[in-house]
Structure 1
Amino acid sequence: MDRFPELDDAVQNLSEDLDHRLVVIDRSMRVVSYSMHESPEDRRRLFHILAHSDSWPHPRTATTPYQVVAMEEIGPVLFLRMLDSRKYIIGHLVLSVTNQEAEQSFLARLDSAIARLSELLAARQHDAMDREARSYHLAAQLVSADTQSREKSAEALISERFLSSSEGFCAVALGIDPRDMNPLNKEKSAQAVASTLRYVRENSTATVIGGVLDTDGGIGVLVFPRPVVVPRLRRILEDPQLAPVRAGIGPLVPLAETHRSFERACLAWRASWLAPENHGIVTTWEHVGLDGTLARLPLEDFTPEDLPSAIRDLLSATDSPVLLDTLEAYLVAGGDAQQTARTLNIHRSTLYYRLDKLRNLIPGDFHDGILRNELHTGLRMARLAGLLKN
């Protein structure tokens, strides 16, 4: 939870004037400030609020200044709305009360202080929005092509305490397959960045920055001062509202080289949507393999004429998915017939029959290492380019 000294001090002063323990929550029901809670019972109540307030139903204070709600494990709780200058609800002052304390005389004492607390909370939120916008801008600059911009961004991120000093930083590229771009998907990158930043902020005190590049479709960028936990990022992106966003994770590098991590993150991301059947919605550069290298090519624009000659000849002779899948499995198995038959779940005699047909279609010897490399890589290129039937 971020600290905001003026708001914190005002909450503490009011707490001592009223002789009540106070908590301030924002619009999302997250705790943003609280007074000292000294007794065991007060601390137990505070811990419960810190752990559960964001799952509480929003108090019904749109047409009334306050509401008293009986909360499990806490008892009667007073929610007093806090308004900004436009009279929009920006949060609530929360305190445990008895039925007698919820009477007008007690509420009047709170009412005289709520305006000041609301002003300070609004200022805190305004500063937070300004800081968030600054963070977005610096994140995009950090991975830009301009060396001077990258250097200034790296210096500002540390000096302005957006990121802590670390031995290594990890970049993430995220967005949707550009071929699936439509008005509904256009803002998905920004939504995915915002969701990830919100998740980190609400569940830890860790520092992460993010933004969206000014490109067609807008590729999102996240920068972590540590390795990324893949299952955690996957859970975030599995939210149906973020589909079909996918992410690529670059290697850990010094801050000044974050753009290089982002370059590889982009390649892993590209590979994941070029071959979604082979890669999860979160893919790392370390595990994307040859597909990451091939992703440097403009595969979306490939035609059969762009493939190696052996594959061109093969695709002109047959478009049978069965034969092509058999050849690919055979090459992946390093020419091991027994392993290939197990992979395809077929009898070995069936495999030999298919291989004989393939030998009649491909000039050259399957035992020739150069030919096998050309066939293996060429088939992968054709599959990533979408030139093979499924």
Structure 2
Amino acid sequence: MNLEEHVQAYADHLGRPIIVFDADFNVIAFSIHGEDVDHARLAIILSHRGSSRARESIREYRVAQSDGPVRIPPLEGGRTRIVAPVRHDGHLVGYISSTIPDDLPDGDVVEDEAIRESRAQIGVILAAMALGAREDEDRTRRLVAALLEGDGDQSIRAADEMLTDRLISPAPHYTVISLSPPPRADVNTATLRLALDRALAAIPAYPTLKAVGTVLDAEAVLLVPYEIDSDRLSALLDLPAFTDLRAGVGGAHATLADAHRSRREARIAARGADIDPSRGRMVHWDDLGLDRVLLQLPVEKLTPSDLPAPVQRLLAAQSGPDLAETLEAYLDHGCDAQRTAQELHIHRSTLYYRLDRVKAIADVDLADGVMRRELHTALRVATLAGLR
């Protein structure tokens, strides 16, 4: 008998529908039953995962430590549930959940020998599935690492194997997304793995195209054969579990063997999100502009003395931070005084006064194009280096 047959036999013996979860509360199988639709059960099946409240109650009632089924009271207007642990060789591999009438006596939910044996058989199948999933995960990690971190020949061989075995869909181009925490954040591998799973399920712009991903060190890496849906990726980062993560999106590259280039770009973009919070928590390589170069510098090692002398003088002045902001806005707007004043919500006479102060303190000529380029670049470097 396969898993579905064991599950249906178990449900038929109980006389009520069941849902089978793995140890991580993912829906693995469910029985068919002719009774009225249980909307809570249907919602779980459609979402492929137990609700957070249901998972908390299973932990609260210590189902994992029980030898048999545990009765769990109704949650938020739902129905009473019976949840039994599923084990193989003493190791927890899943749960079997069913609903019962609230007034059903405890004696009517005790397992007989046939049900216990059926639960054990389901445990054997779940253990085999978990082993296969771990082997698949290990293989995926090996191939993605070889593709993104190996030399030219390794990358080509890994790309060929991934395409031949349909681990990823063939496509005109491939993009890498890097999900990672800032260096100071305490984010564990389990959170990265959860973010990876959610991203693979939530962000595809073309669901028929298969993406692949894995966790490499402290980074969740997604390799996708389609254009990134930025709104979906932003929504993922907004989930409470992922508030410490940043996303860097690399450029699109024409062959899978060149995906390592996109990974490099994605990591630089993620660094941009880390160093300059004004960019937001998701940064695209294509939007970096000059920062493509600047973010590859060891900016964290720079000191004020590394900046050009005019910028040093400006930042050292008492009103330096405000004047630097005004100057940067002026340069950002192509030295257009009217647009700059509108952006800063000040009168043009105020802007001209501030620019005169900049000229006097920094000892510069803002009509000099070379000087404007030097000031603009140096102010950006100072921002990325945390010097202003």
Task: Decide which moves more: 321-330 or 161-170.
Answer: 161-170
- The answer for the alignment partner of 2:138 in structure 1 is 133
After TM superposition, the structure 1 = structure 2 runs for residues 6-155 of structure 1, keeping only pairs within 5 Å, are 6-12=2-8, 14=10, 21-36=17-32, 39=34, 41=36, 47-51=42-46, 54-55=50-51, 56-57=54-55, 58-59=57-58, 60=61, 61=63, 62-68=65-71, 77-86=81-90, 88-95=91-98, 99=104, 103=108, 107-155=112-160
Give the TM-score normalised by structure 2: 0.80
Contact (CA 8 Å) 1:189, 1:212: kept in 2 or not?
Answer: no
Residues 96 and 333 of structure 1: is their aligned pair in 2 closer, same or farther, counting only changes over 3 Å? Answer: closer
Question: 1:350 Cα shift?
Answer: 2.1
Q: Aligned residues, how many?
A: 369
Residue 94 (structure 1) shift: 3.4
Partner of 2:245: 245
1:195 match:
194
CA distance in 2, matches of 1:105, 1:301: 67
Deviation at 1:115, TM superposition (A): 1.1
Counterpart of 1:228 in 2: which secondary structure? coil
The answer for the alignment partner of 1:326 in structure 2 is: 326
Q: Residue 314 of structure 2 contacts residue 323 of structure 2 at CA under 8 Å; is this kept in 1?
A: no
Tell me the secondary structure at the aligned position of residue 257 of structure 1: helix
Contact 1:24 1:34 in 2 (8 A): yes
Q: Which residue in the other structure is 1:170 paired with?
A: 175
Among 303, 310, 333, which residue is 1:313 paired with?
310
Q: CA deviation at 1:124?
A: 0.9
Residue 192 to residue 226, structure 1, CA distance change in 2 (3 Å): farther
| Alpha-carbon shift at residue 32 of structure 1 (Å) | 0.2
Q: How far apart, in 2, do the equivalents of 1:360 and 1:201 lie?
A: 55
Say if 2:264 is the partner of 1:263: yes
Q: What letter matches 1:31 in structure 2?
A: V
Q: How many angstroms apart in 2 are the aligned matches of 1:387 and 1:296?
A: 17
Change (3 A) 1:259 1:306: same
Q: Report deviation, 1:111.
A: 1.5
Q: CA deviation at 1:190?
A: 3.3
Mark the CA change 1:318 to 1:85 in structure 2 (over 3 Å): closer, same or farther. closer
Over 3 Å counting, the alpha-carbon distance change for 1:369 and 1:69 in structure 2 is same
What is the SS of the residue equivalent to 1:252? Answer: coil
What's the CA shift string for 1:221-279, capped at 9, x where partnerless? 22223233333333433455545332211123332221111121112112222211x21
**Identical pairs, percent:** 29
CA spacing shift, 1:266–1:201, aligned 2, 3 Å = closer
Alpha-carbon distance in structure 1 between the residues aligned to 2:14 and 2:188: 47
Structure 2: state its 5+ residue gaps.
none
Equivalent residues in 2 for 1:211-360 (5 A)? 211-213=214-216, 218-239=218-239, 242-253=242-253, 254-276=255-277, 278-304=278-304, 306-307=306-307, 311-316=308-313, 318-319=315-316, 320-360=320-360
169 and 16 in structure 1: CA distance in 2 versus 1, 3 angstrom threshold? farther
The offset of 1:304, in angstroms, is 4.4
The 2-side partners of 1:90 and 1:158 are apart by: 32
For the pair 1:210 / 2:218, whether they are aligned, the reply is: no
1:45–1:190: structure 2 CA closer, same or farther, 3 Å change rule? Answer: closer
Structure 1: which 5+ runs fail to align?
A: none
